[in-house]
Amino acid sequence: MKHLFALNKYFLKNKWRLILGLLFTAISIVFSVFQPIMVRQIFDLLSHNIDEYRLLSDTPLKGAFRADFTHVLAFYGVSILLFALLSGFFLFLQRQTLIVMSRHIEYDLKNEVYQHYQQLDLNFFKMHRTGDLMSRITEDVSRVRMYVGPAIMYASRTLFLIVVIVYLMLQVNPLLTLYTLSPLPLLALTIYFVNRIIHRKSERIQAQLSNITSIAQESYSGIRVIKSYVQEDASAKHFEEASEAYKISSVSLAKTDALFQPTMALMIGLSVILTIFIGGIQVIAGNITVGNLAEFVIYVNMLMFPFFSIGMVASMIQRAAASQQRINEFLQIEPTIRDEPTAKTVDIQGGIRLQNVTFTYPHTGITAINNFNLHIAPGQKVAVIGRTGSGKSTLAQLLIRMYDPQEGKVMLDGHDIRYLQLANLRGQISYVPQDVFLFSDSVANNIRFGDPSASLQMVQTAARQASVEKDILGFSEGFDTEIGERGVTLSGGQKQRISIARALIKNPDILIFDDCLSAVDARTEKEIIGNLYAYLKNKTAIIITHRIFSLFAFDKIIVLDEGKIVEEGTHDDLLSLNGYYSELYARQQSGEDESVTK
């Protein structure tokens, strides 16, 4: 339960909706209890006067008596209808306030979780599965909404109704009240347990359903692999097995559901029979009137749903508490990469220095950068080369402060980047990642992501510089062509170049290209490098690559191995070292490596 306290701030924010909702609930209940009271009065009126009326002979007096009776009955009928309408109207207002409040809280909570996710650092996303992150923002928030809306609504209604009705019952006859109410706690308890069973079964069905969905999704995405390996039958069998498990669970839930309603009807029936039996004895004994008995039968019926909802509300709260606990777990995680209180903004010129930097990935213990020193002057172009896993991408991640090193300092123009505002730092660096990511949006908007205020002309220029303009103009809708599942399917090279255009349009002082030309052919690569040459004139650039671009006059080339610089210098310096670089160069020259850019 204590996990739900985290929601109190939202109740406070919506206090007027909550107060009004509770008030409307109380008013609706007051109007609803007029019905049994009036029914009692009608019954008593009839039972007291009917014998007298029957004894009258057919005289005008009997006619007048009947007319009076009819008027009184009509009056009660209209009054009951009026009170029912009023009660219904306030019930409507109650839902309009409490359920609306729950939707507002759901909206705020979703945004809070989403915004918190945005603050968290990469390590968090590495450690949690995407499905888990998504289910906390969707399913868990929905379960919490059941607590802040329906559970509060049913609980308050139940509480008010029980207080008012039990008070009215006790006024009539305490003993009959006791007998009448005795089966109801059993009803609440049964509902609670049955609800738990139903919930457990529903959860299992839900998990099986998402399993079926992911099997289907995976086989549609991998349909080419399935067909080329002639695995259609195996894939269908796999799906059938998952469907079979789902069917078994669904049937089992249907059986429990089928038992649920008759059990309820039995309990309600028992309560009514008990009321009539004990009440009848009390009427004969002269302790209560026939009207009281009728009134009690209505009370019992009115109390059924509230008692029924006790069990329902209890399991709703239990589920919401478990969900809120999962949400709180994430909300309580503090981002480790964040602005220091004294963080400043600076206009970066492009000088980079790494001083004795050591970085170990926290969750794997792999030391990717080891006692690393590097200096890049503003405007220099540096190539970073090295075997796979040598730490090249990690170096890029450290420069944009996706991670903080455990030892040493990363500095830009002499400022330790830990003390620069993150938005200021990242706003002045363009990073083109190795694994390209494009959004399901138009080509233009994907490029504009680097500068949302960019004009179409700027988008076109960036696309030209990244040598992808011709490809884009070849699409049916040019720059407005949609990318993604329902849009055009881009080649790996086209994606890489759009991603480069996105980085260029940002017009930063520092650019980091992380092996982002791996999927383009040698001719296009030459063209891009030619364009970049002019673009990068006064900018600092780090180009991480597996290949040697001998066309590009780098100020410095560094070769990494196991997180350390093992070779450093210009192209000619490195060739004379006869190390990894010259070996790679020789391999490329001899044409062993087809991707060589000569």
Ligand X SMILES: Nc1ncnc2c1ncn2[C@@H]1O[C@H](COP(=O)(O)OP(=O)(O)OP(=O)(O)O)[C@@H](O)[C@H]1O
Residues that bind ligand X (CB under 6 A): 126, 361, 364, 366, 368, 386, 388-394, 434
Structure tokens belonging to residue 310: 């006790």
CB of residue 389 to ligand X, shortest distance in Å: 4
Q: Which is nearer to ligand X, 433 or 569 (CB)?
A: 433
Phi, psi of 351, rounded to the nearest 5 degrees: -80, 130
CB of residue 403 to ligand X, shortest distance in Å: 9
CB of residue 386 to ligand X, shortest distance in Å: 5
Is residue 160 within 8 Å of residue 29, measured between CB atoms? Answer: yes
CB of residue 503 to ligand X, shortest distance in Å: 18
- Cα separation, 465 vs 503, whole angstroms: 11
Per DSSP, 199 falls in state H
CB of residue 545 to ligand X, shortest distance in Å: 9
CB of residue 524 to ligand X, shortest distance in Å: 21
CB of residue 516 to ligand X, shortest distance in Å: 11
CB of residue 255 to ligand X, shortest distance in Å: 48
Cα 97 to its chain centre, rounded Å, is 24
Q: Which is nearer to ligand X, 235 or 393 (CB)?
A: 393
CB of residue 455 to ligand X, shortest distance in Å: 35
- Cα separation, 448 vs 483, whole angstroms: 14
Q: Can you tell me which residue has the tokens 């209808």?
A: 81
Q: Which is nearer to ligand X, 187 or 399 (CB)?
A: 399
For residue 114, the tally of other CB atoms under 10 A from its CB is 12
- Cα separation, 213 vs 374, whole angstroms: 49
Looking at residue 572, its amino acid is D
Q: Which is nearer to ligand X, 150 or 391 (CB)?
A: 391
Q: Which is nearer to ligand X, 389 or 487 (CB)?
A: 389
Q: Which is nearer to ligand X, 311 or 386 (CB)?
A: 386
Q: Which is nearer to ligand X, 310 or 512 (CB)?
A: 512
CB of residue 384 to ligand X, shortest distance in Å: 8
Q: Can you tell me which residue has the tokens 């919490």?
A: 144
Q: Which is nearer to ligand X, 162 or 541 (CB)?
A: 541
- Mapped onto helix, strand or coil, the DSSP state of residue 25 is helix
How far are the Cα atoms of 130, 391, 459, 560 from residue 388, in angstroms, in the given order?
Answer: 26, 8, 33, 10
CB of residue 394 to ligand X, shortest distance in Å: 3
Q: Which is nearer to ligand X, 483 or 542 (CB)?
A: 542
Is residue 353 within 8 Å of residue 414, measured between CB atoms? Answer: yes
The three-state DSSP-derived secondary structure of 327-386 is HHHHHCCCCCCCCCCCCECCCCCCCEEEEEEEEECCCCCCEEEEEEEEEECCCCEEEEEE
- Mapped onto helix, strand or coil, the DSSP state of residue 546 is coil
- Cα separation, 388 vs 74, whole angstroms: 91
- Cα separation, 489 vs 226, whole angstroms: 20
- Cα separation, 134 vs 132, whole angstroms: 5
As a whole number of angstroms, the longest Cα–Cα distance in the chain is 134
Q: Which residues make Cβ contacts (< 8 Å) with residue 360, sequence separation at least 6?
A: 366, 367, 368, 406
- Cα separation, 350 vs 333, whole angstroms: 33
Q: Which is nearer to ligand X, 129 or 224 (CB)?
A: 129
Q: Which is nearer to ligand X, 388 or 590 (CB)?
A: 388
CB of residue 343 to ligand X, shortest distance in Å: 25
Q: Can you tell me which residue has the tokens 């009184």?
A: 72
Q: Which residues make Cβ contacts (< 8 Å) with residue 182, sequence separation at least 6?
A: 274
Q: Can you tell me which residue has the tokens 């620069």?
A: 420
124 HSE (CA, 13 A, CB side): 18
- Mapped onto helix, strand or coil, the DSSP state of residue 596 is coil
Q: Which is nearer to ligand X, 469 or 515 (CB)?
A: 515
546 HSE (CA, 13 A, CB side): 13
User: Where are any strands of DSSP class E within 377-517?
Assistant: 381-386, 407-412, 415-416, 429-432, 510-514
Q: Which is nearer to ligand X, 143 or 556 (CB)?
A: 556
Q: Which is nearer to ligand X, 386 or 450 (CB)?
A: 386
Helices (H), 400-551: 422-427, 443-448, 456-465, 469-474, 492-505, 522-535
CB of residue 457 to ligand X, shortest distance in Å: 35
- Cα separation, 3 vs 329, whole angstroms: 10
CB of residue 578 to ligand X, shortest distance in Å: 22
CB of residue 332 to ligand X, shortest distance in Å: 23
Q: Which is nearer to ligand X, 22 or 560 (CB)?
A: 560
Task: For residue 430, give the nearest of 266, 541, 559, 352 by alpha carbon.
Answer: 541
